[in-house]
Structure formats: structure tokens, C-alpha cells
């Protein structure tokens, strides 16, 4: 189950509306000794930059893909430690699309355990909650969260508990 | 001389929750080997079967992306910090 404050969830929705029709992305953080996400830490989606530099390896644009700026990610990890926060997972939006853990989401969140891309895969971040907001015609509609279930060997939808 | 290795949140199950560990090594490859000796299971998350850094891991040596240095052959020298940074992507 993903526990998240109303303010943090609304922050995810606002971010998705601002970046529409492109995907937004960021980190979900909360007190290191707690169980709840209290902050949505915005990140820059560098997918367009990657696509322009290397369209062969990055065929998608920010309209249907996201890639968190790693230097921002590094600063977020450092700042989180200083503030006594920890990362619970990540969020992104699906513009004009439903919230579901797509084949691309799954591919990017897992790695092949035998080196064969079509072989068995493991999650990169097995403990991460993955929150996806559906943003339609520029307005946030709803969000769903997903987590890795080892027994099922796939990402499965989990309950979201929103506190005020 | 030991270098400080910064561990991202999602890998801290291997470090007992520690955000950083001090590790010896002349090259980054040695640092990763020694890191594995201290934090069992972490190396497999960072490096593939061919000994290359996995695509979803970025490694910086004092803020410089090691892909622009000599990857894992990069010598640590007087560097103070190795940062392991997740590459998070999807669509």
C-alpha cells in the first residue's frame, strides 16, 4: 500500500498538468522514520534531450516517455539525507492516457537476470512504489500506484491511502 | 586511501541503511569489489555479467560521469566521493 498525504498527491497532479502534453516525473519522499510520502520532489524530464542526441537508442519523446535527470537525482538523494527524508519511489504522468504500468514502464524498471533481454527479469528497485497520474486534456484525472510482487514476478496495482 | 561511496536510497538494504560507506580501491573496479565484500549483493545491482556498469546506474567520481573518464578502470586517485545515482525512466 502507498501511504501519501493529500498535499503530496495534489503536487503530483499539478506537476502533470504543468508539463502536459509531456510526461512529468519525480521522486516520492517522506520522513526516514515514517511510512508515508509527504513530498513529491519534482525532476526534469530529459527524454527530449536524449532523443535529440541519440534517436536510435531513445526513439520516444517526452510525450510518451520520461527519463529523470541523473544529476538532479543525485542532488535529491543528498538533500533528502540532509533533511531526514527517504525516497519511497517515483512518479510520472501519462498524458491523455490511462494510469497503468505500461510495457515500457516495466522494461525500464526491470533488468534481465541472464543478460538476455527476452529472458527472466528482476525489478531494479524492488522496494519502490511507482505512482502514475493520468492527465487528460491538461487536467489530472486520477492516479494509480504499482509495486513489484516477487511471487507474481510483475508490477501489480496497490492501494493508495491518502491522508489529509 | 578510502573513498566515500554514496549509496542511493533504493540500494541501502545492502548497507544496513547507511547512506555512505568508506571503501578502499585504486580503481573504481576495485572499489566495487571491496564494496561487495562489505555490502553483500550490491555489486550484482550495479554491474552486469560482463563487468560493465548497468544501464540504469550512473556513477560519478567527484561529480564527473565516469563514462567520460575510463568507466570502471578510472583510478580513484585523490577523489573524495563516488556517487551511485539511479537512472529512472519509463513511458
pLDDT at position A152, please? 80
pLDDT of A132 above 90:
yes
Q: How many Å lie between the alpha carbon of B15 and the closest alpha carbon of chain A?
A: 15
Q: Give the residue from A16, A33, A39, A73 with the most B CB atoms within 10 Å of its CB, the best one to mutate.
A: A73
pLDDT at position A131, please? 98
Question: What is the rounded CA–CA span in Å between residue A54 and residue A69?
Answer: 16
Question: What is the rounded CA–CA span in Å between residue A137 and residue B71?
Answer: 44
* pLDDT tens track for A5-42: 999 999 999 999 999 999 999 999 999 999 999 999 99
pLDDT at position A117, please? 79
Domains of chain A: 2-163 (3.40.140.10)
Question: What is the rounded CA–CA span in Å between residue B39 and residue B7?
Answer: 11
pLDDT at position A59, please? 96
Q: Give the residue from A33, A70, A84, A102 with the most B CB atoms within 10 Å of its CB, the best one to mutate.
A: A70
A80 touching B (Cβ < 8 Å): yes
* pLDDT tens track for B55-91: 889 999 999 999 999 999 999 999 999 999 988 999 9
ipTM tops the 0.85 cut:
yes
Q: What is the mean pLDDT of residues A56-71?
A: 95
A140 pLDDT band (50/70/90 cuts)? very high
* Residue of A66, A71, A87 with shortest CB distance to B89: A66
Dig out the grid coordinates for A3 from the structure: 501511504
A150 touching B (Cβ < 8 Å): no
Tell me which residue of A83, A88, A94 sits closest to B10, measured CA to CA: A88
pLDDT of A69 above 80:
yes
Class of domain B3-86: alpha beta
* Residue of A87, A111, A130 with shortest CB distance to B56: A111
Chain B residues contacting A, CB < 8 Å?
Answer: 6, 8-10, 13, 19, 45, 48-50, 54-56, 58, 60, 83, 85-91
* pLDDT tens track for A73-124: 989 988 999 999 999 999 999 999 999 999 999 999 998 887 777 888 888 8
User: Between chains, do B58 and A105 touch, taking CB under 8 Å as contact?
Assistant: no
**Number of continuous H segments (helices) and E segments (strands) in chain A:** 4, 12
Amino acid at each position: 500500500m502507498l501511504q501519501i498525504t493529500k498535499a503530496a498527491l495534489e503536487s503530483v497532479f499539478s506537476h502533470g498538468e504543468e508539463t502536459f502534453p509531456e510526461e512529468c516525473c519525480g521522486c516520492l519522499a517522506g520522513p526516514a522514520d515514517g511510512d508515508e510520502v509527504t513530498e513529491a520532489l519534482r525532476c526534469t524530464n530529459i527524454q527530449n534531450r536524449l532523443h535529440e542526441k541519440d534517436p536510435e537508442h531513445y526513439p520516444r519523446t517526452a510525450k510518451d516517455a520520461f527519463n529523470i535527470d541523473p544529476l538532479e537525482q543525485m542532488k535529491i538523494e543528498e538533500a533528502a539525507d540532509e533533511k531526514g527524508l527517504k525516497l519511497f519511489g517515483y512518479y510520472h504522468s501519462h498524458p491523455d492516457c490511462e494510469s497503468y504500468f505500461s510495457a515500457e514502464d516495466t522494461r525500464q524498471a526491470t533488468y534481465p537476470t541472464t543478460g538476455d533481454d527476452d529472458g527472466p527479469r528482476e525489478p531494479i528497485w524492488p522496494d519502490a512504489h511507482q505512482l502514475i497520474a493520468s492527465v487528460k486534456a491538461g487536467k489530472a484525472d486520477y492516479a494509480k500506484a504499482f509495486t513489484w510482487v516477487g511471487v507474481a514476478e510483475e508490477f501489480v496495482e496497490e492501494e493508495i491511502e491518502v491522508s489529509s | 586511501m578510502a573513498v566515500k561511496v554514496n549509496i542511493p536510497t533504493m540500494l541501502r538494504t545492502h548497507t544496513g541503511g547507511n547512506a555512505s560507506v568508506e571503501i578502499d580501491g585504486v580503481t573504481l573496479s576495485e572499489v566495487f569489489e571491496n564494496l561487495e565484500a562489505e555490502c553483500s549483493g550490491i555489486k550484482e545491482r550495479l554491474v552486469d555479467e560482463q563487468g560493465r556498469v548497468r544501464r540504469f546506474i550512473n556513477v560519478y567520481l567527484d561529480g564527473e560521469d565516469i563514462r567520460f573518464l575510463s568507466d570502471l578502470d578510472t583510478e580513484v586517485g585523490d577523489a573524495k566521493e563516488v556517487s551511485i545515482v539511479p537512472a529512472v525512466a519509463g513511458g
